[in-house]
Amino acid sequence: MTQPRAHVQAFFHQPTFSVQYVVSDPATREAAVIDPVMDFDLNSGATGTDSADEIVRYVRDAGLTVTWVLDTHPHADHFSAAPYLADVFNAPRAIGEKVVEVQKLWRDIYHLPDFPADGSQWDRLFAHGDQFSIGELSARVMFSPGHTLASITYVIGDAAFVHDTLFQPDFGSARADFPGGSAAQLYRSIQDILSLPDATRLFTGHDYMPGGREPAWESTVAEQKAHNKHFADNPGEAEYVAMRDARDAELPLPKLMLASLQVNIRGGRLPEAEANGTAYLKIPLDRF
């Protein structure tokens, strides 16, 4: 069955190589925002909404109504702007239900004994197979763990938002060495994504521009199966896991990981300000 074509507008965030999306139904002008970025400067500690405000301007200029603000997983390389945009658009926020496992894991790492690791920071927690709609576009949720415990894919119309599983074919696939990650799970999640119809458009969560090319974020299932540098030769699970583990062992942790995850397990909300009116982040020393 041919799926209706979703309109997808991407916003590339150069400082974190992240791609944010507005996916909309051309018939009804309803839309969802996926994986928006809150600006954060590590050197100064300053936060900002310039990137998110670009999305606000686009939505208003296009005459769209945002009915969902969606995260694919708790990000390790940028703060989520989902709470900010949910407030602007008066729209509910959602993420996968396994986020509670990520919250429990990082609550212990950050030593936040009173933190409620129950997913209550979002309006809805999606389970695998859950369905919803964006106007006349049907949407469903695929559980896609491996990069994180909580990663999900949103299949909306003819498009799938695959976050940090597959990247563009010339870059391959995501790392799986963060706490709770698993290269074997990632392999199986990618196989599920590659089982979608060949014409399905795939939209990635990052692009690192190998060889200095321009940023890119859209491919198809057929293109990934034919050209992805980690999957074109159709590796078995053991072969892929060995490659992924060896590669991940050489990668540095994202520079914003320890800052980002304590914000993103809160649903993107910053820590509460202390008595002097300033909010603070905790950095676990010698943990990694």
Q: What CA–CA distance (Å, rounded) separates 213 from 175?
A: 21
* The pLDDT value given to residue 4: 84
Q: What is the mean pLDDT of residues 180-190?
A: 97
- For the chain, the average pLDDT equals 96
| CA dihedral sign, ordered 264, 266, 268, 269 | negative
pLDDT in tens, 108-126: 999 999 999 999 999 999 9
Q: Could you give the count of Cα atoms lying within 13 Å of 47 in the half-sphere of its Cβ?
A: 20
Instruction: Tell me which residue of 129, 124, 75, 66 sits closest to 95, measured CA to CA.
Output: 124
pLDDT band at residue 3 using 50, 70 and 90 as cut-offs? confident
Q: Which CATH architecture fits 7-264?
A: 4-Layer Sandwich (3.60)
- Domains in the chain: boundaries: 7-264
Q: CB pairs under 8 A, 24+ apart, for 5-11?
A: 5/157, 5/158, 6/134, 6/137, 6/156, 6/157, 6/158, 6/159, 8/159, 8/201, 8/203, 8/218, 9/58, 9/62, 10/203, 10/217, 10/218, 11/51, 11/54, 11/55, 11/58
Q: At what angle are helices 237-248 and 183-194 packed, to 10 degrees?
A: 120
End-to-end Cα separation, the chain, in angstroms: 48
1 pLDDT more than 70: no
Instruction: Provide mean pLDDT across the span 126-142.
Output: 97
Q: Is the predicted pLDDT of residue 198 greater than 90, yes or no?
A: yes
Per-residue confidence band for 2, with pLDDT thresholds at 50, 70 and 90: confident
| Contact in structure between 193 and 221 (CB atoms under 8 Å) | yes
